[in-house]
A = this chain, B = another copy of it.
Amino acid sequence: MLVSEMNRKECEELLARQSLGRLACAHENQPYIVPIYFASEPGRLYGFSTMGQKIDWIRRNPLVCIEVDEIIGATEWASVVVQGRYEEFPDTSEYAEPRRKAQAQLEKATSLWWQTAIAVTQTRKRVDRDMTVFFCIHIEEISGRHGWPDPAEHR
């Protein structure tokens, strides 16, 4: 297998093609990962979540990491890592426009944007609107690597 770095444009193209990633946050240096749906545009990602440990932790420490990959096979894959800063869009008039934009971008990226967030429990409790949050991740660093089969290995 050969592995090389991806440039920024290649990383952004992968983010634009995908809508499922893994988000990590950290509290007192303990990291925590959850899968999330996201939408991307140059410089930022948008997401939607229910309240819970993830949002509690991120409100206290807005530094997050998102990893998104395309795994075609063991020797053919790409992985992009974003380090960024979380900004919450509260349900207030001041944030009406950013919330509308986040929702529109998420709907464009995936019809599933609300699926991992709205965790309907087995008892089918109703999800309260106050229990959900739109947010944006401002991209501070982005890097990626991709691997592909080495023709020399198959000679």
Contact = CB atoms under 8 A, between A and B. Distances in A.
Interface stretch (A6-14, A62-70, A87-95, A96-104): A62-70
A24 B32 contact: yes
Interface of A: 1-4, 20, 22, 24-26, 29-35, 61, 63-67, 69, 71, 74-75, 77, 79, 81, 83, 112, 115-116, 118-122, 124, 145, 147, 150, 152
A35 B75 contact: no
A25 B31 contact: yes
Given A24-B24, A32-B24, A63-B29, A1 B81 contact: no
Nearest to A26: B26
Given A4-B121, A4-B122, A120-B1, A65 B31 contact: yes
21 contacts: A1-B118, A3-B119, A22-B22, A24-B31, A24-B33, A24-B65, A25-B31, A26-B26, A26-B30, A26-B31, A30-B63, A31-B31, A32-B83, A35-B69, A35-B77, A35-B79, A74-B112, A75-B115, A115-B147, A116-B147, A120-B150
